[in-house]
Structures are given as C-alpha cells and as structure tokens.
Amino acid sequence: MIGKKTGKVCRLRAVIRCAALFFALFFVLSPLPVSAITSRDAATPDDMDLAVDRIDGAYLYNIENDFVALAYNADETVFPTSTVKIMTGILAIEALGDRLTETVTVTAEMLEDVTGNRIGFKEGETVTVESLLYAMLVGGANDAAYILAERIGGTVDEFVGMMNRRALEIGAAATHYTNPCGIHDYDMYTTVSDTAKIALVAYKLPLFMEITSTSKYVIPETNMSEYRNVFNRNYLLSTDSVYKYYYQDAAGMNSGSTSQGGYSVVTTASREGLTYLAIVMGADVDEESDTIYSYTEAAKLLDYAFSAYANITIVEAGEFICDIPVEMSGTTDVVSLVTADSLTLYLPTDTDLKTEVKRSRKTNYDSLTAPVLEGQTAGVLTVMYNDEIVGNVDLVTTVAVARSEFLYTLERIKSFATGRFFISAVISAVVFTVIFVLAKAVYLHRKQKYRGRYS
C-alpha cells in the first residue's frame, strides 16, 4: 500500500535500525511464563479463514505464555494510522498519570497543526489531564493528542522525538513517528510486530487499559464549553453507533483509519484465564456490505484463539502415582505417593494427551524408614510434551507412619552387632582369650614340671 520512499526516508530508516541494534544490547524484555506450546503449533491465516486479500497484516499473541499464535506479514512496513496514539498514551500516562486533576490551558500553538478527528478544544480553554487522556484514547481526538504532546515535550517536535526514542528502547526498530496522533504522513511508518511490542508496554499500564476499555466518558464542563460525551471509537467495545462488531471479552486498546493506511485495530480479550493481543492493520472496508475488515478479522483471530488453545490440567493434585516400601513400621509395609500439586499447561485443545503428553516418576529413595511424615516429599513426577520437559510435580506421602520401637531396638542391636567396633571388640576378646589360655597352659605345664623335678 505504501509507495516508493524517498532517499531521505530510506537513510533515516537505516540510521534508526542501526541505533536499534545498539539499544538491543541493553534492552531486556520482562520475563513471562514458559508455554508448553512450541513454534510448530503456530497457526496460519487459513486456520482462521482470514480475508488476507483485505488486510495488510495481522498478529495474535497470548500474553500469559509469551506465545505468538499468528504473525501474518508482521514485519512488512505499514502506515500506523491511529495506533500512534498508543505511544502517545504511554508517554502521557508515564509523565502525567499521577496528576489527572491537573489542568492545562489550551494555546493557539497547540492547535495550529491539528487536522482530522477532534473534540473541539478552544484556545484559552482549561481542561484536566484526565479529560485530555480520555478524549485522545477513547474518542481518538487529535487535538487532545497535540495538547498533551506540547504539555509534556514543550514542543510537538520534541515530543515526537521522545516517541521515536522510546520506540527504540522498546525494540520497535522499524517504527518512525512524525506526529502524535496518527494523521497520515508518508514518512511515518511501522510494522505489525512493532505495534505489538508497543501495545504490550501499554497493556502493563493499568490506567491505559482502564481508559481505553471505557465505552463512554463525559468530559466535565470547562470555562469555555458545556459537558461533552466521548464514545469509544473501537467498535469491538462500543455499541453507541455500531453494534455488529461488539466483542464481549474485548478490552482496550485503539482503532482508527486513514484513507492511505486503511483501518487498524489493536485490542486485547480475556477468557478463562487467558488474555490475547489481537492486531489487524491496513484493512479494507466493503461499502456495499458496510463491512470494516479490521473488526471482522480481529474477531476471527480471537475466536480462533479461544477455541484452539486452552489451559489443560495434565496432573491433578492428590493423584495416586505409586507405593513405596516402608521399613521400621509395625503397622504397614508400604505408603502411597501422590502428587503435591496440579499441573496445568497451555496447549492446543486438540492435543492427544495419551500420545503427546508423557509422564515419568522417580522416587528419592528405594524405601522410606519410619517415622514418615504425612506430606513428606519422596519423589518427583516429570511431564513431557513433544519430547520436551514442561513441568515437574513433587510426590508426597499420603499418611504418617509411626516407628515400631521394638523393631527399632532390634535394628539398633543388629547394627551394633554388625558394626566394625563390635566386630573388632569380639575379635580382640577372642584373641586375648586364646592368648590367655595358651599362656596359662604354658604356665601350668612349667609349674608341674618344676614340682616333678624337686619332689
């Protein structure tokens, strides 16, 4: 969709990518739980029946397990459209998120470059930071984005520089911003994968998700305006003007369009302990059927995710695994070992648990010696998926086993009798006795011989 870039733009992109390599040496992603799913489990557009001829790119990502379920044209250059506001929102919340009641007086400079969708803030109007954030992130107001940009950066140009620097810090090396709202500019570009990285940073900001998940916000009256209703422009969340795209589990983040960049939507959705990030960019609209493909394809991504993957319990807590012998007990010869905890894995819902998931057990000892405590760890159960270890569960005893004092005493006697000290003592005693007997015999023999000589 994007035309040929000028030499200047190409050089700029090369510089940005080089800088990104430098920043990558220092940038560390937040650790996430390891998924049992491997890369070969990733889906294709055909699996979801995506209308690939109607979109430029798509992305589906499970947040809890750091799993990319789909990446379609994820590294192709696209125009960011309104997704630019995600970055603007990140910087605005980080700078002013704890000062929501603080007011900003709108100046002529803040409004001079504003085009496209706007709330209609006026020069001299005093408005709170909170209202500006909701106007921008819920209503997609470009004037609110420019006002926040100048308030934070001092100038819009400086704020845009902050946006580009932050993109590099995040690892979005193929992204370049020229304005804070997403109004079209041929020198402003991104990729679907970069958009995902930026969206995940925004997802970790509770205020960002709270704001962007709001279906309606009322801007209180100001010194120059009565109250204003702001409805969410993301039709996955809002039913004010369009209902057919509503997705019950969706939350946040952004949607919008330009004639050059098409329609884009970035959203999350949660169900049964799983949260997905879904992105569709560069989508078409069918005027005849009144279909916006960013929303229809995002819904396909989410429907597929919730049907194709799930948290599946592989091991139940308290599950019997084996018996292990017990010594020194007068009441039992064995004690049962069970799993200490359950083990739940993120897996495709069509996983054949009998053939694809394997379990093996190992006890810490050949036998236990009483006394045995209830819940005492005595082994481990190892679980493998696709020949990779994906979890270990401790094996613990089910009951306490008391020691038999009689058997214990016999064992101590046996141990003492078979010990090196006792054996050495017995040998020494035998040797001493033999020597004594021999010595006494020699003595008696000599004494008798002496008496015979002088008798």
The Cα–Cα gap between 405 and 89 comes to 72
The pLDDT score that the predictor gives to residue 40 is 54
Least confident window among 73-77, 296-300, 315-319, 442-446: 442-446
196 and 320 part of one domain: no
The Cα–Cα gap between 281 and 189 comes to 12
- Does residue 6 register a pLDDT over 70? no
Residue 403 lies in a domain: no
Which of 278, 308, 338 terminates a domain? The answer is: 308
231 and 371 part of one domain: no
Mean pLDDT within 52-79? 98
The pLDDT score that the predictor gives to residue 166 is 98
Residue 402 lies in a domain: no
Which of 308, 331, 361 terminates a domain? The answer is: 308
pLDDT bucket at 439, cuts 50 / 70 / 90: confident
The Cα–Cα gap between 84 and 256 comes to 10
Identify the bridge partners of residue 396 per DSSP, sorted by sequence position.
Answer: 338, 377
What is the signed CA dihedral for 20, 25, 29, 35, rounded to 10 degrees? 110
277 and 383 part of one domain: no
Contact 410, 418 (CB under 8 A): no
Range of the domain at 17: 7-308
CATH number at residue 375: 2.60.410.10
DSSP letter string, 193-236: HHHHHHHHHHHT-HHHHHHHT-SEEEEPPBTTB--EEEE-S-TT
Identify the bridge partners of residue 185 per DSSP, sorted by sequence position.
Answer: none
Domain total in the chain: 3
222 and 118 part of one domain: yes
Nearest one of 181, 301, 193, 288 to 233, comparing CA atoms: 181
pTM score of the predicted model: 0.80
The pLDDT score that the predictor gives to residue 316 is 96
List pLDDT tens digits, range 9-23.
344 344 434 444 433
Name 288's Cβ contacts closer than 8 Å, sequence gap at least 6.
none
Which of 308, 331, 359 terminates a domain? The answer is: 308
Angle at 221 between CA 218 and CA 223, to 5 degrees: 150
Least confident window among 96-100, 342-346, 391-395, 448-452: 448-452
- Does residue 26 register a pLDDT over 50? no
pLDDT > 90 fraction of the chain, expressed in percent and rounded: 76
Residue 138 lies in a domain: yes
159 and 293 part of one domain: yes
DSSP letter string, 226-292: --EEEE-S-TTT--SS--TT--TTEEEEEEEEETTTEEEEEEEEEETTEEEEEEEEEE-EETTTTEE
The pLDDT score that the predictor gives to residue 51 is 97
- For the chain, first and last CA: distance in Å? 140
List pLDDT tens digits, range 259-318.
999 999 999 999 999 999 999 999 999 999 999 999 999 999 999 999 999 999 999 999
In which residue are the tokens 């194709």 written? 308
The Cα–Cα gap between 283 and 114 comes to 25
Residue 407 lies in a domain: no
274 and 360 part of one domain: no
Residue 404 lies in a domain: no
List pLDDT tens digits, range 79-109.
999 999 999 999 999 999 999 999 999 999 9
The pLDDT score that the predictor gives to residue 425 is 61
Residue 27 lies in a domain: yes
